[in-house]
Amino acid sequence: MSPLKTALLCLSTLCVVATTLAAGVRPGQIKNLVTFGDSYTDTVVVSNGGTQWPVYASGFAHVNLFPFARSGATCSNNLTFRPFPSLFESQLPTYFNTTTDAKGHEKLKPEETLYTLWLGTNDVGSNALLTGSDDASLVDVMECMVNWVKVLFQNGARNFLFQNMIPLETVPLYAPDSWPARYWTAQRNTTEWSVFMKELVLSGNALSKLMLQALAPSLHGAHIGIFDSHSLFADMFANPSLYLNGTAPLNVTGAVQACVFELNESTSDTGSCTIAHGTDRDSFLWFDELHPSEQADRIVAREIAQVIEGKKNKWTTWLS
């Protein structure tokens, strides 16, 4: 049976009951946070001009941070090729090499470690599924992300938090009124891009949820949670006064660092940029045309810290 058909079977009453009874991690249980993903999570090449959310989250929750996310990453370069460290070809091997001793034993205690994955922005974006990517499909990409849980489980991991994709059609790069930016300067139909991106994100999030619901009952002893990044960012976009606290007028359509390029201009140039400074930066939802701002990341960190601490979190659903 295909993964999609298997996932669809999880709409049964049994799966609904199992999800309802899931409790997730216990208060005080988690001592280590291990992060995978792309530039939204990378703590080396920081995408928000300040401090990335895993650093804040580990500090808020007082846990050890082991960051493996890398900018530009997709789930697999065999599906959506990009010359960056992908999850399966780079990040997972690096993790295993780093956290396994000479005898092959895991250095981190599984019951004390939470693994997170926030991926998809590059997989569905420009130079990938949005503009065409060989023979890979959205189903292939989402199945790859769900396989992250399987691989880690087989190697001893037990606590997982799967962060779904944000509403990328609201990011300046994919908005209907977007402008030529460093990430894309070629001619494009901005309305078409925005509509297509919305469908890719909504469909991808629905697929991953169904696949995880189907997988959860088979991984005995595992705790699998879905962190609804999509709903959180949709709420930040719709109600910025609840989240943004800078000294400039609140802004969810521009960016801290917004740079306009001429069509087909080389991105080696800086373009014409408008840059916010100091506390004005915290009035923006986006840092640039593609990435969340540091203030948005503080909100993500605050919410995920609740999960780490075993508290109830409005954006998190535990499947097991």
pLDDT at 6: 55
Q: How many CA atoms lie within 13 A of 143 on its CB side?
A: 12
Indicate which CATH number applies to the domain containing 60.
Answer: 3.40.50.1110
From 112, 72, 77, 111, select the one nearest 93 (Cα to Cα): 77
pLDDT in tens, 162-203: 999 999 999 999 999 999 999 999 999 999 999 999 999 999
Residue 85: inside a domain, yes or no?
A: yes
Domain membership of residue 129 (yes or no) is: yes
Structural domains in the chain (count): 1
Taking the CB of residue 288, how many other CB atoms lie within 10 A of it? 24
Instruction: DSSP letter for 213, please.
Output: H
Q: Which of the two residues, 211 and 5, has the higher pLDDT score? A: 211
d(C-alpha 76, C-alpha 87), whole Å: 6
| CA–CA separation, 48 and 41 (whole Å) | 10
d(CA 296, CA 227): 15
Other C-beta atoms closer than 10 Å to the C-beta of 275 total 13
Residue 99 domain-assigned (yes or no):
yes
In a domain, 269, yes or no: no
pTM of the model: 0.92
pLDDT mean across residues, the chain: 93
CA distance 35 to 32: 10
Is 18 domain-assigned? yes
